């Protein structure tokens, strides 16, 4: 069977489409889901090779379930992909992205939280870790700014346009403000409001670390892995943020 130029073009097109799809889901929660799906597929292949009939059957059912659930699970990514396709951006050349963990100005964040707490000004600050937060970043206003106490104070100034949303910090920079976060369905004790529900909800769906300052009491809290740690001092907040920034587990 001869390998023709048409075959080469066919392979290159498919390879490029696959590359663009993988690139488009980078920085989102879909990346982790794709890894899990790949593990299931690989396990299915191994089970067939070893003639493990029961395991093979179970994995085949799991694969079928995943395929049915994909449109629901990947709804945000599919919608964004279709929007990019309509704008002619899906197959454009990707822009460069920063890599690695950049220096994080924790002192500026902690100082801002302390001052906001003293003034009883509500705040919601999200620190991205391994799980991409692109779909949440897109709900806010892009800033891509250096972290500073003054900027955070201005963002959360009462009656400002971005006051009610969340600030998302990624790679040592404030990438977006005024972001909308998912709310938890869990019942929170103490009559906690929307900010705390958003902080816990975000920590349930991602591995992000979220700082929330109460507008009513000025209490500083930290949401991690679906749990809310309240009544933090500035010193304790700094310790916690340093721990998670260095790779500490969220559970």
**Model pLDDT for residues 150-179, shown as the tens digit of each residue:** 999 999 999 889 999 999 999 899 999 999
Higher pLDDT, 126 or 171: 126
The span from the CA of 95 to the CA of 249, in Å, is 31
Question: What percent of the chain lies above the pLDDT cut of 70?
Answer: 78
Whole-structure pTM value: 0.66
| Number of neighbouring beta carbons within 10 Å of residue 60 | 14
Burial 190-206 (b: 16+ CB within 10 A, else e): eebeebbbbbbbbbbbb
- Which pLDDT value is given to residue 8? 83
Domain boundaries, the chain: 5-86, 106-245
- Helix locations, 74-162, DSSP H: 75-86, 106-118, 134-137, 149-155
Q: Check pLDDT > 50 for residue 95.
A: no
Higher pLDDT, 148 or 14: 148
Taking Cα atoms as reference points, which of 249, 242, 209, 215 lies closest to residue 228?
209
Contact 191, 230 (CB under 8 A): no
> How confident is the model over 101-117, as a mean pLDDT?
86
**Model pLDDT for residues 5-22, shown as the tens digit of each residue:** 888 888 888 888 777 766
Contact 147, 172 (CB under 8 A): yes
Cβ burial, residue 171 (10 Å; 0-12/13-18/19+)? middle
The domain defined by 106-245 carries CATH number 3.20.20.190: no
Contact 166, 159 (CB under 8 A): no
Cβ burial, residue 226 (10 Å; 0-12/13-18/19+)? middle
**Model pLDDT for residues 133-146, shown as the tens digit of each residue:** 888 998 999 999 99
């Amino acid at each position: 069977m001869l390998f023709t130029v048409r075959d080469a073009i066919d392979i290159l097109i498919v390879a490029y489409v696959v590359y663009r799809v993988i690139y488009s889901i980078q920085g989102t929660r879909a990346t982790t889901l794709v890894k899990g799906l790949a593990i299931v597929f690989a396990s299915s292949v191994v089970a067939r090779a070893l003639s493990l009939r029961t395991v093979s059957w179970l994995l085949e059912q799991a694969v079928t379930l995943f395929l049915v659930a994909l449109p629901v699970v990947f709804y945000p990514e599919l919608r964004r992909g279709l929007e990019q396709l309509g704008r002619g951006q899906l197959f454009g050349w990707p822009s460069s992205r920063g890599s690695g963990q950049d220096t994080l100005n924790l002192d500026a964040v902690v100082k801002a939280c302390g001052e906001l707490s003293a003034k009883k000004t509500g705040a919601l600050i999200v620190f991205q870790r391994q799980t991409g937060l692109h779909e949440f970043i897109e709900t806010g206003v892009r800033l891509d700014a250096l972290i500073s106490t003054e900027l955070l104070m201005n963002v959360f100034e009462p009656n400002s346009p971005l006051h009610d949303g969340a600030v998302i910090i990624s790679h040592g920079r404030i990438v977006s403000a005024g972001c909308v976060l998912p709310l938890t369905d869990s019942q929170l004790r103490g009559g906690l409001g929307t900010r705390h529900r958003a902080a816990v909800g975000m920590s349930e769906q991602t591995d992000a670390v979220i700082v929330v300052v109460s507008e009513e009491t000025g209490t500083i809290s930290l949401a991690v892995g679906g749990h809310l740690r309240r009544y933090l001092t500035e010193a304790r907040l700094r310790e916690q943020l340093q721990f998670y920034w260095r790779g500490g587990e969220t559970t």
